[in-house]
Amino acid sequence: MTEAELYSQYKGVYLPNHLHSPESLNHFEEFTFRTDDIIIVTYPKSGTTWTQEIVPLIQNEGDMASVLTLPNWDRVPWLEEKRALELNLDQRPSPRIFASHIHYSMMPKSFYKVKPKVIYVMRNPKDVFTSSFHYHGMVSYLVNPGTVDEFLAKFLSGQVMYGSWFEHVKGWLNAEDQDPCPFLTSCLLPCDLKESVSKIAHFMGKSLSEEVSAKIADHCRFKNMKQNKMSNYSLVPEEIMDQKKSEFLRKGIIGDWKNFFTDAQTECFDAVYEERIKDVKLTFVWDL
């Protein structure tokens, strides 16, 4: 199926029709935030699911009940998606934890007024691209990626779901300067997970013992999270996500792009990256 059949434009970016509707986007626009809400914001394939595991575990001080009984999309729902309409989000006790893939400039009015806490999770864009290419090949409601060159052209020009990676990152990072909402930027790395857990806990105002931090980090290691059916998307029917083609929790490493890009693709990516990101100070881990 084509983009025109699978996606709709929302404020200039493509969103998949399977996940969003005019009603869900209206609900998003009218959403009322609370100051103690925690919003996990990501560009897709940057570590959303991982953070949907870590943050509730920190909030619950290592109690595993919510991550072992609630699927990640109900535990930390995406505010813009259809599912949010069914969850009575305004009845949830504080502090509520939500997710969003939406650009900073497209957030609801209440967001700018209330300034809830934001955890913005990033990943180097070559690994985002590689993960996204595989994801587009296994999800039936996304446009088939075509060849790597074809998908690269679309990714670099922002003609993909949720729009341009460059605009997403720049928008959210500039927001940190423009708008003093409590803001944490994080890049999750498999090798220093315990440090990330401590950093996020500190931001959330939670003081965790060494033992609890270590327990959370251990549960959130790739091989362990892969076993959690509430987080590995095995609850999604195969006709929607065919994990025989590519698993949702696929490799979970930094630097997989090196196994995937040709030299010419790397050169093309680097040229656009240098041009588009030159006015932003960003240091990514590209390889471990």
Binding site for ligand A3P (CB under 6 A): 42, 44-50, 127, 131, 134, 190, 220, 222, 225, 249-252, 256
Taking the complex as a whole, the smallest distance from the CB of residue 276 to ligand A3P amounts, in Å, to 21
Residues 6+ apart with CB under 8 A from 282: 169, 173
Q: Please, what is the minimum distance in Å from the beta carbon of residue 224 to ligand A3P? A: 8
* DSSP per position, 3-28: HHHHEEEETTEEEETTT--HHHHHHH
Q: How far apart are CA 117 and CA 97, in angstroms?
A: 10
Tokens of 244: 């025989």
Smallest gap from Cβ 88 to ligand A3P, in A, equals 25
Catalytic-role residue among 20, 27, 101, 134:
101
User: Of all residues in this chain, which one has the CB nearest to ligand A3P in the complex?
Assistant: 252
| Distance set, CA 197 to CA 78, 146, 153 (Å) | 21, 37, 35
Could you confirm whether 101 is annotated as catalytic?
yes
Measured from the CB atom, the residue of 10 and 222 that comes closer to ligand A3P is: 222
Residue 230's Cβ-side half-sphere holds a number of Cα atoms within 13 Å equal to 16
Tokens 């020009």 belong to 157
Minimum Å gap between C-beta 96 and ligand A3P is 20
Task: Enumerate the active-site residues.
Answer: 101
